[in-house]
Amino acid sequence: MRICAAIVLGSSLGFPALAAAQAAPAPPAVPVPVPAATPAAPAVNPAPTPPTPPAFVPPPPPTTAPATPVPAPTPAPAAPAPAASASGFEFVLGGAQNGVAPYTHGSAKTEEGKIDVTTEPNVLKLVLTGGVGANVFFGIESTAVQTFSVNQEFDITSTDPAVSQVVLTLDSGLVGFVRAKHKGSACVQVASVTIAPVGWSTTPLSLAHPQLCVAGPSPVHGEPVGILNKDPVSSITSPPMPLGRYVIQANFSIQADACGFLDGHSTAIFSPEPTELDPWEREHDMFKGEDKAGYGFTTILTASPVDGKPVANAWEKHLKTVKVAKRNAKPNQDTVTR
């Protein structure tokens, strides 16, 4: 009885859980789910390991000296193509019959007459220089004449064997002056030139300068008169001409006269250095102190190819070379400048 009371007392004293544990059945076991197995990753073949390069082993020193390397030959530059040149023709001088004939009477003088024929590539140049002067001498007429004659042969050749023809251009200028006072006169009677192949009956190149003449007394109180000429005549160009031998013929004649009882005098000067006539120059003469550089009767012959342009401005180039007449003549109302 005492045991039961104890159980009851225990139940009543607050141990209901124990009582319940003893009285209630055990709960059923709950199965624990087994996790699904994770599939294994496919096997990956590892990348092949690159072979380790062998360590550099220096070669043994050479037993003989190494051969000196020979540089590759540099190719020679190609020769430049020959440039077209206007100087494709040559003038070669041949035989000549040239002469100067002076004549004086009374108080008269002539300058030394000169004939100068020169050549250079593509050019032949002919220059005639001289002068005459006359003074009155107690009423006796004085006269001075100078005549030039040129007959010069020359050959025209080409540096190109395939060329057989040439075009020729002729330029000519008469640079100088004639002057007179009182009963004096001065004149260029002739200044002409022709060029033709030897044996031809015609002259394909021919020109003549107009006469330059003055005569006193001047109608204006006996003042001096004169003409100063510097301009060339127009150029002449030939048709195509054959290469070979040619002849140039030139004629040049100047004359001075003086008469009366007064200070009549005259000069015709076409010389760059008139040593004979300069001392005769009076204070009031026409063209006193004129620069005479380039004075003379000049002819320039130039050659050019048939299919090219004729040579131009040959006379202008000549003037630059000789610097013709740098100083102008003294002004005078009876002065004529051409």
- 322 in a structural domain: yes
The pLDDT-based confidence of 257 (bands split at 50, 70, 90) is very high
Spatial distance between the Cα atoms of 5 and 11, rounded to a whole number of angstroms: 10
Spatial distance between the Cα atoms of 38 and 34, rounded to a whole number of angstroms: 12
With 0.75 as the threshold, say if the pTM is over it: no
φ, ψ dihedrals at 216, nearest 5°: -95, 175
140: DSSP letter:
B
* Contact partners, residue 55, CB within 8 Å, separation at least 6: none
Average pLDDT, the chain: 78
- 40 in a structural domain: no
122 or 333, greater pLDDT: 122
Spatial distance between the Cα atoms of 250 and 152, rounded to a whole number of angstroms: 9
Alpha helices in the chain (DSSP H): 2-12, 16-23, 314-322
Rounded mean pLDDT, 160-169? 93
SS3 content of the chain, % helix, strand, coil (to 5): 10, 40, 50
- 24 in a structural domain: no
- 28 in a structural domain: no
pLDDT for residue 330: 45
Counting the structural domains of the chain, the total is 1
- 237 in a structural domain: yes
Q: Pseudo-torsion of CA 232, 238, 243, 247, nearest 10°?
A: -50
- 8 in a structural domain: no
The pLDDT-based confidence of 167 (bands split at 50, 70, 90) is very high
Q: Give the domain range for residue 123.
A: 89-337
